[in-house]
Amino acid sequence: MSGSPPAHVREVLTTTRVWAVVGCSPDPSRDSHRIAALLQSRGYEVIPVNPREREILGQRVYPRVTDIPAERGVEVVDVFRRSEDAGAHVDEAITIGARAVWLQLGVVDEAAAARATAAGLTVVMDRCPAIELPRL
């Protein structure tokens, strides 16, 4: 599944608006911060997830995806964590009923992707919104 189909990328980027960004950093030089800021600037609602922070990009931060109130309506769980840590966050996405999970460049977990697909989520893996958005 690595190298997600372009149709999945397009679907997630064009039909969703609320993204939980797992591993979002308060440091503007970090990719997770830059991508979250880019998504915000493009009109997406970004909900940062980081157990060590309280606010990032002017938004309340939640320690875990499952701590985000259901009424926030998370549609995509975007994972900026190592591949070996990604599965737990994919499982959180399944638990909350997200529509999709996005694993960033270099983040590959085939078993977690298979679980998400089996649960009905769209999976984008080893891709970056900053690269994909201009292609739309």
**pLDDT tens-digit readout, 111-121:** 999 999 999 99
| Residue 102, domain member (yes or no) | no
**Count of domains observed in the chain:** 1
DSSP letter assigned to residue 49: E
Tell me the residue range of the domain where 56 lies. 16-75
Q: What was the pLDDT predicted at 3?
A: 64
Q: Is residue 87 part of a domain?
A: no
Q: Give the model confidence (pLDDT) of 37-72 as tens digits.
A: 999 999 999 999 999 999 999 999 999 999 999 999
pLDDT: which is higher, 1 or 102: 102
DSSP code at position 98: -
Q: Is residue 126 part of a domain?
A: no
CATH number assigned to the domain comprising residue 40:
3.40.50.720
CB burial readout 25-61, b (16+ within 10 A) else e:
bbeeeebbbebbbebbeeebbbbbbbeeeeebbeeeb
Section 72-94 average pLDDT: 98
Structure tokens at 2: 């690595």
